[in-house]
């Protein structure tokens, strides 16, 4: 069984052979593991057309080499431009149509050994800060426009998911932070109108395309776990420990319906100490791996500021306690 097969087996809710697969929603430590840095974003945009083509292939080779070195069973593809904060570019992005040009190259280099995950935007969660107040008013004053926005967003995303499948993606991960540490953004009636119907359409479309469906959301999702488990969704990523979610409790209640991905605390991975990282990784592996339906990883992105030694503490513990 290849790592790709282990990943897809876990997403299907089954137990893979040998060991728990590892996948990171976003992995930003490539430069810490490779002497040859990725060329991304604005640096990539400055290249000539020929240089961009070479950079795409070299980036794919670096990402797959590091994934194999670390034992990652899947790689998230690189998308388009976005900001982590106003005026602050995200780390992993390509300009123009280059995310689509990169995807088949990544798939070709990964081969049948490593799965490729495409990150999507099919659902509407809370907007960014500069639009937050206006959107909250619109939910009550003009709900038809919000429903129309949800429909348009889904339609566009489904076209992109099909395109991604045709270019080699194995799974679609919907990245929608629908909750904060206190709970879900929408009230139950709004969830029924603006969110659940589109989640069902997203999961059904992915299934029809032969792809696995994953939802990533920060925050406390406890109140909507039954609906997520009944939506046709393959997997839930994060199970946010910072928001008070207990992956052991989620596994006990919904482990037969949802593959759980995560949930090693990103704050702990950043600040340490390593012995606490090892303790949490051991606890999660031992309690969540039985029966399968589990993919280990950080609770969110493995960002560039995270000490390499801390990530190694998680990885070494997985090698010891993530076996079947």
Mean pLDDT, consecutive 10-residue segments, the chain of 324 residues? Answer: 98 98 98 96 97 98 98 98 87 97 98 97 88 93 97 98 98 97 96 98 98 98 98 97 96 97 96 98 98 97 96 98 97
Domain boundaries defined on the chain: 3-321
Query: What local confidence, expressed as pLDDT, does residue 83 receive?
Result: 86
Query: What local confidence, expressed as pLDDT, does residue 29 receive?
Result: 97
Distances (CA, A) of 118 to 25, 109, 163, 218, 236: 10, 16, 10, 18, 15
Query: What local confidence, expressed as pLDDT, does residue 11 receive?
Result: 98
Neighbours of 145 (CB within 10 A): 11
Query: What local confidence, expressed as pLDDT, does residue 160 receive?
Result: 97
For 247-302, the three-class secondary structure string (H helix, E strand, C coil) is HHHHHHHHCCCCEEEEEECHHHHHHCCHHHHHHHHHHHHHHHCCCCCEEEEECCCE
Query: What local confidence, expressed as pLDDT, does residue 87 receive?
Result: 84
Instruction: Give the domain 3-321 fold.
Output: TIM Barrel (3.20.20)
Distances (CA, A) of 159 to 8, 55, 226: 22, 27, 28
> Whole-angstrom Cα distance, residue 48 to residue 52?
6
Largest CA distance in the chain: 55
Query: What local confidence, expressed as pLDDT, does residue 131 receive?
Result: 86
């Amino acid at each position: 069984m290849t790592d790709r097969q282990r990943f897809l087996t876990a997403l299907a809710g089954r137990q893979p052979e040998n060991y728990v697969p590892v996948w990171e929603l976003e992995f930003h430590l490539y430069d810490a593991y490779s002497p040859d840095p990725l060329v991304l974003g604005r640096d990539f945009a400055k290249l000539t057309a020929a240089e961009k083509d070479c950079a795409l292939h070299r980036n794919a080779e670096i990402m797959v080499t590091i994934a194999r070195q670390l034992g990652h069973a899947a790689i998230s593809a690189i998308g388009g431009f976005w900001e982590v904060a106003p005026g602050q570019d995200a780390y992993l992005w390509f300009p123009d149509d280059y995310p689509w040009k990169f995807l088949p190259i990544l798939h070709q280099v990964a081969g049948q050994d490593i799965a490729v995950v495409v990150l999507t935007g099919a659902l509407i969660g809370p907007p960014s800060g500069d639009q937050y107040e206006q959107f909250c008013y619109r939910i009550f004053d003009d709900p038809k426009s919000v429903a129309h926005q949800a429909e348009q967003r889904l339609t566009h995303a489904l076209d992109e998911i099909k395109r991604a499948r045709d270019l080699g993606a194995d799974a679609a991960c919907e990245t929608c932070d629908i909750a904060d540490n206190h709970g879900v953004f929408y009230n139950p009636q709004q969830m029924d109108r603006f969110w659940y119907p589109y989640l069902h359409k997203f999961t059904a479309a992915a299934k029809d395309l032969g792809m696995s469906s994953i939802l990533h959301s920060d925050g406390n999702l406890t109140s909507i776990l039954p609906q997520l488990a009944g939506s046709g969704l393959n997997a839930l990523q994060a199970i946010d420990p910072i928001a008070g979610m207990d992956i052991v409790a989620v596994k006990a209640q919904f482990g037969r319906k949802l593959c759980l991905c995560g949930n090693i605390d990103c704050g702990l991975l950043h600040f340490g100490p390593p012995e606490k990282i090892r303790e949490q990784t051991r606890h999660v592996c031992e309690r969540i791996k039985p029966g399968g339906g589990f993919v280990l990883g950080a609770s969110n992105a493995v960002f560039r500021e995270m000490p390499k030694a801390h990530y190694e503490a998680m990885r070494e513990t997985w090698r010891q306690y993530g076996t079947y």
